[in-house]
Amino acid sequence: MERSHTVFPEVTLAILAGGQGRRLSGVPKGLLEVEGRAVLERLLTLAPRFEDVLLVANVPGPYARFGLRTVADVVPGKGAPGGVHAALVAARTPWVVAVACDMPFITMAALRVLLDAREDSVDAVCFEVAGRLEPLLAAYRPALAPAWGDALATNPSMRELLSNVRTRLLPEETLRAVDPSLRSLANVNTPEDLARYGVALPS
């Protein structure tokens, strides 16, 4: 993949495929389409800005045509915490930015806000919007992986995991500065979401 425009050579873009879209006829959510392109394909337009790209998918078959380096959860059955952990284990760079494959509207501007907020004293950077953390639009040090993996035994929430590491929480207004409608956080889980965001089932 072309890397001549790499902006963040120390960062891996990790796309978490999650499970099957059970509320969307079992369609792999990364294959949902916006304006004729799969969501995963849209996210991959961000890839040239990063040193590496990684797909976390326990059922990789539907995404094989994209030719991505793909890994499964190291600790199965742990949802988003397990998916992030898998990305941290597999990363070859000092940082990972994790995004979900059902978020069609993530922009480079939003990712830049996250990554520009990194500091030597911070292990994770995450937006907090309306009191909720957004862990699938967030940046992490892979050095967290061993402790994170141990913690998965207790089925922690993402908030619990992040509360135990040096996390910088970015307030809502920092995202609104580059994304006034918070469209980057839109995720597609239900038929109602399809209509709301103009998303179609794969053709």
Q: Which residues are annotated as a binding site for Mg(2+)?
A: 102
CA triplet 201, 75, 202: central angle to 5 degrees? Answer: 5
Q: Which residues pair with 139 in a beta bridge?
A: 97, 125
Which residues contribute to the annotated binding site? Answer: 16-18, 29, 73, 102
Binding positions for GTP are 16-18, 29, 73, 102
> Which candidate, 26, 14, 93, places its Cα nearest to that of 57?
14
Radius of gyration from C-alpha coordinates of the chain: 16
Amino acid at 162: L
Alpha-carbon distance of 166 to 135, in angstroms, equals 14
Nearest CA-CA partner of 117 in 56, 49, 166: 166
